[in-house]
Structure 1
Amino acid sequence: MASNTPPQDAELVFIRAVVSKTGARLADVEKEISGLRRRLQQLEEERASLSKYQAQNNAVFSPLRRMPPEVLAEIFSWTLPSLFEATNRPKFDTKHSPWVLTHISSRWRAVALSTPSLW
């Protein structure tokens, strides 16, 4: 193998057997890699699903859920446009406060709608 001398007949038989076994092992390894890639994809999908589920459950512990409506209303009032901004914007621009606050959650909607100073 390390020289350019042609192999003898006995060496050729041995080398052919080695090449054949190596090819078969290479095919087995490729098949195993393919299976592992499929398994990795399944595990990554499961991880993403579990991560999303965990985030949804962790949301229960959010301090915003325990914030009194009066505090939320005060925070909401700070999101109102300034007088200058308000005069240069259409009255029913739903992309800005206070309209956008009503699309966050049912609780925020209730607080925003029950806060006359926002409107």
Structure 2
Amino acid sequence: LNTNEPPLDSDLVSIQSIISNTSAHLSALDSEISRLQHQLKQLEEERSAVSRFHAQNKSILSPLRRMPIEVLGEIFSWTLPSVRDAVAESISPWVLGHISSRWRAIALSTPSLWSL
């Protein structure tokens, strides 16, 4: 291996056997790598699905969901711009209404969001 001299005839069979064995081993390793990559992809997809499910369930326990309507309405009122202009005045309450159906109902039932 460490010389440029041609192998002896007596070594040729041994070297060919080594080449054949390492070729088979490389092929087996490639197959195993391919199988593991496929398995990894499946595990990553499963993890992603479980992560989404976890986040959805975790969000159900959010304290914001249990906050009283009156408190959210007051918070919404504080989101209005202090200096009212025509654009901010017409957009601000509607933005809150795009968050969720609950927020839309609260925004629509909070008069201070709509009054000048």
Q: Secondary structure at the match of 1:98?
A: helix
Of 111, 114, 117, the match for 2:106: 111
Q: Determine which structure has greater relative contact order: mean sequence separation of CA pairs < 8 Å that are 6+ residues apart, divided by chain length.
A: 1
State the Cα distance separating 1:5 from its structure 2 match.
3.0
Task: Report the TM-score when normalising by structure 2.
Answer: 0.90
- C-alpha displacement of 1:16: 0.6
2:5 aligned with 1:5: yes
The aligned residue for residue 39 of structure 2 is 39
Write out per-residue CA displacement over residues 3-38 of structure 1, whole angstroms, 9 at most, x where no aligned residue. Answer: 333221120110011001101110110111011111
Judged with a 3 Å threshold, the aligned counterparts in structure 2 of structure 1 residues 6 and 102 are, in CA distance, closer, same or farther, namely same
Partner of 2:58: 58
Report the CA distance between 1:88 and its aligned residue.
5.3
What's the TM-score once normalised by structure 1's chain length? Answer: 0.88
Provide the aligned C-alpha RMSD in A: 1.5
Q: CA deviation at 1:106?
A: 1.3
For 2:86 and 2:109, locate their aligned partners in 1 and report how far apart those are by CA, in whole Å. 26
1:62 to 1:87, Cα distance in 2 relative to 1, 3 A: same
> What is the 5 A alignment of 1:52-91?
52-83=52-83, 86-87=84-85, 89=87
CA deviation after TM superposition for structure 1 residue 91, in Å: 5.5
- AA partner of residue 114 (structure 1): S
2:95 corresponding residue in structure 1: 100
* Cα distance in 2 for residues equivalent to 1:100 and 1:11: 81
Q: Unmatched 5+ residue regions in structure 2?
A: none
Aligned residues: 114
Percent pairwise identity: 58
Matched-pair contact (CA < 8 Å) for 2:73–2:110: yes
Q: What are structure 1's unaligned runs of at least 5 residues?
A: none
